[in-house]
Amino acid sequence: MKGIILAGGTGSRLEPCTKVTNKHLLPVYNKPMIYYPLQTLIDAGMKEIIIVSGKGHAGHFVNLLGSGKDFGVKLSYEVQDEAGGIAQALSLTETFCEKQSMMVILGDNIFEDTFVVNDFSNGAKVYLKEVPDPQRFGVADINSDGKVLSIEEKPTKPKSHYAVTGLYLYDPAVFDVIRKLEPSKRGELEITDVNNAYLKRSGLRSVMVKGFWSDAGTFESLYHATNLVMRKLQNK
């Protein structure tokens, strides 16, 4: 099984800080942001991990993380030439995955939990977190057994408070799914459309995130993520 960190995008919501570097290299408390999703994948058992970034600051990731030797893993790198969406960035990792299943995490997502992955080989899995403001996220409607019934992207009237976090498991068929996608209204290939494609095939399962979760793509969420990490470390 392979690990994938999607760390593209322009980081426009964090300007002017992102004029000189990628947002995923900004600090969250005492570490660069990218360290947190990397550690999530390592803790889940991933030994080979690829980082997909935009072309503007791709070399900064290499300078910071190198071959992955210091982390006990093998790191690879891929460049997303244009802002084509999360699903398009994922499609760039097909050769790297070598027909294996994958654990995918967005580079600005920070989780408290450790996730154990055992023999995942079929379908897709999303990780959900109950939040007070679900309209900001992709929202999953689930039944009493945890089966996903639907996913809506930033709905004005959410069917639940379960946000789809930026952590996913996919089987190798995800690349065939992406090839059949149509661009959204903003001209990108959306990860929500990937998940809904698996949902139509009855191949989408869910896991609840128990500990804290935050993205860090805005100044407010970056500040929030920093406080969560700081409090956790101070309470150890």
Q: Could you give the domains of the chain?
A: 2-234 (3.90.550.10)
- Average pLDDT of span 171-195: 93
What would the mean pLDDT of 201-208 be, rounded to a whole number? 88
pTM: 0.95
pLDDT band at 235 (very low <50, low <70, confident <90, very high): confident
**What is the pLDDT, as a whole number, of residue 70?**
96
Counted residue by residue, the chain has a size of 236
Pairwise CA distance, residues 71 & 115, whole Å? 18
pLDDT in tens, 116-136: 887 788 999 999 999 998 998
CA torsion through residues 105, 107, 112, 114, sign: positive
| Residues 105-121 as b or e (16 or more Cβ within 10 Å = b) | bbbbbbbebebeeeebe
Q: Is residue 41 a contact partner of residue 103, using CB atoms and an 8 Å limit?
A: yes
Cα gap 171→212, rounded to integer Å:
27
CA neighbor of 42 nearest in space, from 5, 86, 94: 5
Query: What integer pLDDT is reported at residue 190 of this predicted model?
Result: 92
- Residues 140, 164 contacting (CB under 8 angstroms): yes
Residue with the bigger pLDDT between 145 and 89: it is: 89
The confidence score (pLDDT) of residue 186 equals 85
Contact 33, 23 (CB under 8 A): yes
Three-state DSSP class for residue 192: helix
pLDDT class for 58, splitting at 50, 70, 90?
confident
